[in-house]
Chains A and B, each alone.
Chain A
Amino acid sequence: EPEVTQTPSHQVTQMGQEVILRCVPISNHLYFYWYRQILGQKVEFLVSFYNNEISEKSEIFDDQFSVERPDGSNFTLKIRSTKLEDSAMYFCASSTSSGGGKTQYFGPGTRLLVL
């Protein structure tokens, strides 16, 4: 069964450093998403992406974040200058459509720790 994959599974970085989190969505999916979950808190939407551009973003997704689909398979989230409060689990998801009924399938997550 096709699934979303994410690398790395864990990332430790120093405050102020740039990190790139990578995702490979399910191959026939067209809509891609990033969510984050700070430890002990709810899952929060960051951004959605379609046709090589952002279709929706939350207030969390400020100028230090960016997303890119550099090739036909990868979807990346870049955090330009990490802060301590960026420590969280980051989930990538994909769906065949953005329509409300289309289920988003999640990857296993990347656990980011900023020191």
Chain B
Amino acid sequence: AQTVTQSQPEMSVQEAETVTLSCTYDTSESDYYLFWYKQPPSRQMILVIRQEAYKQQNATENRFSVNFQKAAKSFSLKISDSQLGDAAMYFCAYRSPQETSGSRLTFGEGTQLTVNP
């Protein structure tokens, strides 16, 4: 079974600065998908960014980018020019590509990000 680990329960960053959230995972599959979801105080789960394991290029979405290291099974999220609205719990998630047995998302424990003005 796949596991996802986020070793930083809490992180903080100054507004306008850059912060990196860590995520590692364990899998025997060679192809898979990785996601970062954001959960603000409203507790809605919002997709931030996704990465396909077969792609070597790191995904980017505006101020959000990932550092995907397949050999190290590492998938970190970098937030540039941090804004107050970025304050939230961030979850890393893994998904198998298998059609029938891989529909579930496996989540990490989450990292609570605080943005200081």
Contact = CB atoms under 8 A, between A and B. Distances in A.
B53 to A, nearest CB: 9
A93 B50 CA distance: 16
B47 interface: yes
Q: How many B residues touch the partner, as a band?
A: 20 to 34
B42 interface: yes
Contacts, number: 67
Interface residues of A, number: 28
B43 A98 contact: no
Interface of B is mostly: loop
Interface string A72-107: 000000000000000001010100001111011111
A89 B44 CA distance: 10
A108 B96 contact: no
B86 interface: no
B46 to A, nearest CB: 8
Contact of A45 (B43, B50, B104): B104
B91 A100 contact: no
Q: Which residue, of B97, B105, B109, has the highest number of chain A Cβ atoms within 10 A?
A: B105
A105 B110 CA distance: 18
Interface in A46-84: 48, 55-56, 58
Contacts of A56: 100-101, 103-104
Nearest to A3: B44
A98 to B, nearest CB: 4
A89 B43 contact: yes
B97 A101 contact: yes
Interface in B13-41: 31-33, 35, 37
Nearest to A41: B109
Contacts of B104: 33, 45, 48, 56, 58
